[in-house]
Amino acid sequence: MKVNKSQVKSDRTSKAANLRNSSFKSKMRTQAKRVRLAVTKNDKELALVELAKANSLIDKSVSKHVQHYKTAARQKSTLANLVNSL
């Protein structure tokens, strides 16, 4: 069990941040799946719309320090290459 106030607060805030971050990561993954689904359907217009939404979420994740900027760049590049393959 935690001993002093700062340890208790640190534990509480880290749990809250973990919940926020995991929720945001889930949104990002769902949007990436929508892009991949549009690509498998060979629907370029839908894929471009979904790609724009995914890129926006990925950029927000970097600004909120949910993930590293190079990880985000890799994800954006991968999705863009999929859409451009249509």
Fold of 5-84: Methane Monooxygenase Hydroxylase; Chain G, domain 1 (1.20.58)
pLDDT digits (tens, 9 = 90+) for 16-69: 999 999 999 999 999 999 999 999 999 999 999 999 999 999 999 999 999 999
Tokens of 24: 């945001």
Q: What's this model's pTM, rounded to 2 decimal places?
A: 0.85
Distance CA 61, CA 26 (A): 11
User: Which residues, 6 or more positions from 24, have their beta carbon under 8 angstroms from its beta carbon?
Assistant: 57, 60, 61, 64, 66
Distance CA 36, CA 86 (A): 11
pLDDT at 1 over 90: no
Using left for φ > 0, alpha for ψ between -120 and 50, and beta otherwise, residue 4 falls in beta
Grade residue 2 by pLDDT with cuts at 50, 70 and 90: confident
Distance CA 62, CA 73 (A): 10
Distance CA 77, CA 32 (A): 12
pLDDT at 86 over 80: yes
Where are the chain's structural domains?
Answer: 5-84
